[in-house]
Amino acid sequence: MIPIGEIVRLSIQSLLRNKTRSILTMLGIIIGVSAVILLVSIGQGLQNYITQQFESLGSNLVIVLPGKVGGGGGGFGAPNIAGSKLSLGDVDKLSRIGGAVESVGAGIEMPSSVSYLGKTKYTTTAGLTAEYQKMRNLTVSSGRMMSESDNRAGRNVVNIGPGIVDSLFGGANPIGKQITLGGQKFQVVGVLSKIGSGGFGIDVNSFVVLPLTTAQKLFGMKSVQAIGIKAKDKDSIPEVIRQVKKELSKRLKEDDFSVVDSSSLVATINQILGVVTLALGGIAAISLIVGGVGIMNIMLVSVTERTREIGLRKAVGAKPKDILIQFIIESVTLSVVGGGIGVLIGFLGALAINQFISTTVTFWSVALAFGVSAAIGVIFGVAPAASASKLNPIDALKYE
Amino acid sequence: MSVLISLSKVTKTYKLGDDVEVSALRGVDLNINEGEFVAIIGPSGSGKSTLMHMIGILDQPTTGTVELEGKNISKLTEEKLAELRNKHIGFVFQAFNLLPRTSALENVELPLIYSGDSALVRKQKGEESLRVVGLGERMDHTPSQLSGGQQQRVAIARALITKPSLILADEPTGNLDSKAGDEIISLLKDLNKQGNTIVLVTHEREIAEQAKRIVEIKDGQIISDKKIK
C-alpha cells in the first residue's frame, strides 16, 4: 500500500511542474477568500464603531427623536430631523416628570463653518443644553463648560474641540478669543477634551458646541432635533419610556416622535449591520464558488492532458484508488494553499483599509472562508479525480 | 524452464456500438517460458496489440484463461491486476511514456512508488537500474534533455527496476532512427542474456528476427510459432 505522504509529495510535485497554471488556478480561490475576509471585516468594523459611538453617549439614556424611528417590528427608519416637531417646551414638560427621570437635555446639530483671522474650518456645530452636554460625557480640558444660564440668556459663547484649536489657532490658547460662526461673533470659553461623543460618526476633536438657544437663533430653528432623558437606573428605563410617551402624546401625534433607549437602538443597528455583513460575505462567497469551478475546470483539463501519464501510472502498478487520491490531493492543495494566501491577503487588506475606515477581522470569517475553500477543493476535485481513476490503462496509453 | 505465462483458448471480443462486435483474438494458445526472448509479429489489425495486453495483464480475455506463474488472472479485480503488473511486468512503450519535466531517476523510480518502497531504496535501485542501461551519468536529466535512444533507455531502466518476471516491449524502436533502434535491440538482447524474459511486439520482420522465437499473428490467430536459434 502506497503511503499517503508519498501521494501528497507526488501531487505537490506535479503542481510545481505547472507553476504558472497552478498559481492562476489558485487566483480564483485567493480572490474569493480575501474578499470574504475583507468585506466581513469592514461590516464588522462598522458595527463595532457604531456600537462604540452609542456607548460613548452614556448609559441609561432614553432618547426622543423626531419622526418614526424603527426599533420594534424589525423596521428601521431615519429620524425626521428637518421636520422635527419637538420643542424646548417639551423639554421643560419632560423635566417636570421627576421620579425615575433624573435629567432632561436637548440638542440640535448643523453643518457649518467657523473662522478666525481669515482661516476657515468646515465642521459640525451643535447646540446643546448643559444637561445634554453631560449626557454626552463632554468635558473641557481648559476654560469652562457652557452653563444653563448661557443657554437661558442665549449668549454667544462657544466650546471648541482640540482639532479646531489646532487648525484655527495653530495650537495657541483660544480662550477669550472671538471666532466667527454663521456671520456672528462668538467668544471661545472652553476647549473640549478628546473624550465624549460628538454625535454619530462625528469626531469630538473637530466639534463646536454652542448653547442650544443660541444655536436655534443662529440657524433660525424653533424645534430641537433630539431630547435626551437620563433614567435613574437601568431597571427604570421601561417606566421612563412609558412616562415620556404619555407626556409627549398630549401634544404630538404618535408619528411625530420616537422614544428609544440607547441599548435597544444599538441592538437594532447591530441587527441591520449584521444582515449587511452577511450579505457582503455572501456576495464574496460567490466568488469562492467561481474559484472552485475554476479549479474543477483546470483539473478536468489536466486529466485529459495527462491521460498518458495516468495510463502509464496504472500500467506500472497504480491502483484506481492511488490515482483518485492523487488528483483529489492536487485540487485540495490548490484550494488550501490558495485559501492560505487569501487569508493572508485578506488580513493585510483589512489592516490597510483600517487606516481609512475601521475594520475588524473576525475569526469566524477566516475559519469560514478557509474551510469553504478547502471543502471546495474536495468537492470540485472529486469529479475530475474519479474520471482519472476510471481510465482504462490501455486506452490511456493509446491516447495521443 | 518453467512456464511464466500461459494463454489457452483465449478470445477477445470488442463491442463497437450496439450490434457490431469485433473479434480481436480467436482462440489463442501461447506459452512463454522463463528466460525466453519472444518476438510477436503481425500487421496492424492482426490482434497483436490485444495479445500484448493479455500478456501484460492490462486486459482480461472474453473467454479462455490467462495464467501468470500458474495463477489464473481472469477473475481478478483491477486492484489485484495493478499489483501483479507492478511486481511481474516491466513495460517499454513505443512513445517512451516518460513523465515530462521529471528527472530520469524519478521516472525510473515510479513503479517502486506504487510498490511502497522507501525513498532510500527507490534511489538506490533507480541508480543501479540506470547504470545497467548505461545512463549512470545522466540521472538528473529530464526527458527533454535526452535523445530518443536515451529516453527509451530510461524507459527500459524503469521496466527493470522491479526485477520483473517479464519485460514487455511494444514497438520499442518505432520512434527511433535505425542506429538508436539497433542499440535498444542489442540492450534487450544483453538483458535477455542476463536471464530476463523478454517479449517484443513489432511489425518489422528484421527486428523480430533478432529474437530467439517468433510468434506470428494474423486475424486474431497464431499462424506460426518457431524458434530461430
Write the DSSP assignment of B142-178 as a string of letters: -GGGS-HHHHHHHHHHHHHTT--SEEEEESTTTTS-H
Q: Do A316 and B58 touch (CB under 8 A)?
A: no
pLDDT along chain B (229 residues), means of 10: 91 87 92 95 90 93 93 90 95 92 94 92 96 93 95 96 95 93 95 95 92 95 90
Q: Domain boundary at A251, A280, A296, which?
A: A251
Which residues in chain B are closer than 8 Å to A314, comparing Cβ atoms?
Answer: 82
The structural domain count of chain B equals: 1
Beta-carbon contacts of residue B28 (< 8 Å; ≥ 6 apart): B7, B9, B10, B11, B47, B51, B54, B64, B217, B220, B221, B222
Query: How many other C-beta atoms are found inside a 10 Å radius of the C-beta of residue A91?
Result: 22
Test the A interface: residue of B77, B78, B170 with most A CBs within 10 Å: B78
Closest CA to B7 of B47, B35, B42, B45: B47
Whether the CB of A395 is below 8 Å from some CB of chain B: the reply is no
Q: Are residues A229 and A290 in the same domain?
A: no
The structural domain count of chain A equals: 2
Q: Domain boundary at A198, A219, A251, which?
A: A251
Test the B interface: residue of A312, A326, A398 with most B CBs within 10 Å: A312
Q: Are residues A13 and A114 in the same domain?
A: no
Q: Which amino acid is at A347?
A: F
Grid coordinates of A337: 494553499
Which residue from B minimizes the CA distance to A394?
Answer: B58
Q: Are residues A92 and A124 in the same domain?
A: yes
Q: Are residues A97 and A241 in the same domain?
A: yes
Domain membership flag for residue A73: no
Helix axes A307-315, B104-115, angle to 10 degrees: 50
B91 and A315 Cβ atoms separated by less than 8 Å: yes
Q: Are residues A228 and A329 in the same domain?
A: no
Q: Provide the shortest C-alpha distance from residue B115 to chain A (in Å).
A: 7
Domain membership flag for residue A262: no
Whether the CB of A390 is below 8 Å from some CB of chain B: the reply is no
| Residues of chain A by 3-state class (helix, strand, coil), percent to 5 | 55, 20, 25
Q: What is the pLDDT of residue A346?
A: 93
Domain membership flag for residue A56: no
Nearest by CB to residue A318, choosing from B91, B102, B114, is B114
Q: Are residues A385 and A338 in the same domain?
A: yes
Grid coordinates of B97: 511514456
Q: How far is CA A155 from CA A91, A213, A216, B159, B212, in A?
A: 20, 8, 12, 102, 122
Q: How far apart are CA B229 and CA B215, in angstroms?
A: 14
A25: left (phi over 0), alpha (psi -120 to 50) or beta: alpha
Q: How far apart are CA A115 and CA A121, in angstroms?
A: 6
Q: Provide the shortest C-alpha distance from residue A35 to chain B (in Å).
A: 35
Q: Are residues A217 and A298 in the same domain?
A: no
Q: Are residues A182 and A227 in the same domain?
A: yes
Q: What is the pLDDT of residue A157?
A: 92
Chain B interface, Cβ < 8 Å to A:
53, 56, 58-59, 78-79, 82-83, 85-87, 91, 93, 95, 97, 99-102, 110-111, 113-116, 158
| Structural domain range at position B106 | 3-227
Q: Provide the shortest C-alpha distance from residue B218 to chain A (in Å).
A: 21
| Residues of chain B by 3-state class (helix, strand, coil), percent to 5 | 35, 30, 35
Q: What is the pLDDT of residue A197?
A: 52
Domain membership flag for residue A392: yes
A393 and B52 Cβ atoms separated by less than 8 Å: no
Domain membership flag for residue A315: yes
Q: How far apart are CA A261 and CA A236, in angstroms?
A: 11
A196: left (phi over 0), alpha (psi -120 to 50) or beta: left
Q: What is the pLDDT of residue A72?
A: 43
Q: Do B114 and A317 touch (CB under 8 A)?
A: yes
State the first-to-last Cα distance of chain A, in angstroms, to the nearest integer. Answer: 30
Q: Do B99 and A312 touch (CB under 8 A)?
A: yes
Residues in chain B: 229
Q: How far is CA B19 from CA A142, B15, B22, B46, B50, in A?
A: 102, 8, 10, 22, 21
Beta strands in chain A (DSSP E): 61-66, 101-116, 119-128, 140-143, 157-160, 178-181, 184-192, 207-211, 226-231, 257-261
Domain membership flag for residue A260: no
Q: How far apart are CA B135 and CA B3, in angstroms?
A: 32
Q: Do A397 and B158 touch (CB under 8 A)?
A: no
Q: Do B82 and A318 touch (CB under 8 A)?
A: yes
Q: Provide the shortest C-alpha distance from residue A15 to chain B (in Å).
A: 12
Domain membership flag for residue A68: no
What residues pair up with A187 in beta bridges, in sequence order? A157, A178
| Structural domain range at position A172 | 86-251
Provide the CATH number for the domain around residue B13.
Answer: 3.40.50.300
A354 and A37 Cβ atoms separated by less than 8 Å: no
Paired sense of beta strands B166-170 and B197-202, if any = parallel
Q: How far apart are CA A334 and CA A12, in angstroms?
A: 9
Q: Are residues A137 and A104 in the same domain?
A: yes
Q: Are residues A26 and A166 in the same domain?
A: no
Q: Are residues A126 and A244 in the same domain?
A: yes
Q: How far apart are CA A306 and CA A258, in angstroms?
A: 69
Closest CA to B126 of B142, B109, B107, B139: B109
* Helix (H/G/I), strand (E/B), else coil: B13: strand
Q: What is the largest CA-CA distance in chain B?
A: 55
Whether the CB of A278 is below 8 Å from some CB of chain B: the reply is no
Q: What is the largest CA-CA distance in chain A?
A: 101
B5 and B66 Cβ atoms separated by less than 8 Å: yes
B121 and B134 Cβ atoms separated by less than 8 Å: no
With a cut of 70, list the residues of chain A below it in pLDDT. 1, 55-59, 69-82, 195-203, 399-400
Which residue from B minimizes the CA distance to A7?
Answer: B113
Q: What is the pLDDT of residue A80?
A: 67
Which residues in chain B are closer than 8 Å to A315, comparing Cβ atoms?
Answer: 56, 58, 85, 91
Q: Provide the shortest C-alpha distance from residue A25 to chain B (in Å).
A: 20
Q: Provide the shortest C-alpha distance from residue B83 to chain A (in Å).
A: 6
State the first-to-last Cα distance of chain B, in angstroms, to the nearest integer. Answer: 17
What residues pair up with A4 in beta bridges, in sequence order? none
Grid coordinates of B59: 486486459
Q: Are residues A105 and A229 in the same domain?
A: yes
Residue in the block written with cell 416622535: A257
Q: How far apart are CA A8 and CA A160, in angstroms?
A: 66
Q: Provide the shortest C-alpha distance from residue B86 to chain A (in Å).
A: 4
A45: left (phi over 0), alpha (psi -120 to 50) or beta: alpha
